[in-house]
Amino acid sequence: MSDAWVSFLPGPVPVHPEVSRAFAGPAISHRSAAFHAQMGEVKRRLCDLVVLPNVQILVGSGTLANDAVGAQLSLLPGRGLVLSNGEFGERLIEQAGRFGLAFTPLRSEWGEPLPLDEASQTVEPIEWIWAVHCETSTGVLNDLPRLADLARERGAKLCVDAISSVGNAAVDLSGAWLATATSGKGLAAYPGLGLVFHHDEIAPSPRLPRYLDLGLWAREGGVPFTASSNLLAALERALEIRGAQETQCARLAADLRPRIERLGFSCLAPVESAAPWVLTLLPPAGTNAFVLGERLEAAGFLLSYRSGYLVRRNWLQICLMGEHEASAIGRLVDVLAGWLDTDFVQLPFDLELHQLDRNRQREVDLVVKQAVGRGGVVESGDGDGSGLSRGQAEDQLAAPVRGAVDVVVDRDAVDER
Ligand SMILES: Cc1ncc(COP(=O)(O)O)c(C=O)c1O
């Protein structure tokens, strides 16, 4: 990534120059006293921040931190609930499934609140509940106090994916049994450290893979394996200088939402349940979010628009995590306003169905329907039989656009992760 871009991504996020400087220092041994002292200090700051007594700092991303939670849940004998109202709730369901956990998934529509009433009415005894705090895909900030109440009422252990909330606002996780965060989002350091907070002491378990055994991490003073002193130093500096950045982002976000709405964008999350630092946007009618994202990138602004779940829904995101300046946001709004004044809204649909939906006919249908609804341009797969053939795609297109099918293929542009 070049400095020429202004990043509004949900990660990696823009970092303070002092964080970059801390990262660039010499790597020191994870066995050294200096490293252990630094680890202790970072842990103390993190625990104070979220009001939980323990944290393990794994080298990896948020998904690894959530897998460490799944591993602990696999040691519990009872059933659980996994609540979902977006992409990252779905990933928890998927991760729970991979661990073979006994659980009931409870879902609500993307953009809606979590199904907490339904969860409180389930009759089976439950031992644990797992849910996302800030649902990054939609920008909905789920109701953490209500989740904690629910867990208390049901006598269940609460596990919270707070990966895109911690650091962006005050987050009190004291009602959680386990909770996850990362270095590279709201904490405004570099990606690469997965944080797992725990309320109770955890004993090692020989049943778990070594790296996922939080009890082993705790027993070894938080440094059982090779660690990155550079990532830790950057996180320490970010924690030392944070505060002003959190307030600045909240102010900028409150200002940005009405300006963006005035341009004809709709924000998916209603303001009362929105996480201000994630704006998931439905562009003005007729505008293709992916094309808009590409154009903005060419103009120097990095927004989130490549993930498959965004492309399929024609959404894009402006995120304000990390270090941001009002002037850059003003430039972004000005550029958008200029384009929307012209014929930008007439941009055609550039979709590559084969890449998007290999082996997933249901999703293909959805994309085709979206394309048809918007009078868009559709291109089929390469005819190897695993994607939607051009003929099939055309058959599913409404008659008025059938003749307008054109070819626009960019296989590598969509990120299916
Ligand atoms: C809420 C949430 N959970 C989990 C993840 C997965 O984190 P990672 O991509 O760092 O593995 C993300 C990433 O954006 C997220 O926002």
- In order of their start, the domains of the chain are 16-241 (3.40.640.10), 351-402 (no CATH)
Q: Which of 3-7, 203-207, 252-256 has the highest mean pLDDT?
A: 203-207
pTM recorded for the entire structure: 0.84
Q: How far is the CA of 67 from the centre of ligand 1 (A)?
A: 12
Neighbours of 39 (CB within 10 A): 19
Each residue's pLDDT tens digit, 15-67: 999 999 999 999 999 999 999 999 999 999 999 999 999 999 999 999 999 99
Q: Count Cα atoms within 13 angstroms, Cβ side, for 36.
A: 9
Atom of ligand 1 nearest to the CA of 417: 9
Q: How far is the CA of 179 from the centre of ligand 1 (A)?
A: 13
Distance CA 356, CA 256 (A): 31
Neighbours of 292 (CB within 10 A): 24
339 vs 399 pLDDT, higher one: 339
Over residues 271-300, the mean pLDDT reads: 91
269, 111 contact by CB (below 8 A): yes
Question: Residue 285's pLDDT is what?
Answer: 80
Over residues 80-107, the mean pLDDT reads: 98
The position carrying tokens 């911690």 is 166
Each residue's pLDDT tens digit, 181-204: 999 999 999 999 999 999 999 999
Which residue's C-alpha comes closest to atom 13 of ligand 1? Answer: 62
Query: Ligand 1: residues within 6 Å at CB?
Result: 10-11, 61-63, 88, 132, 136, 161, 163-164, 182
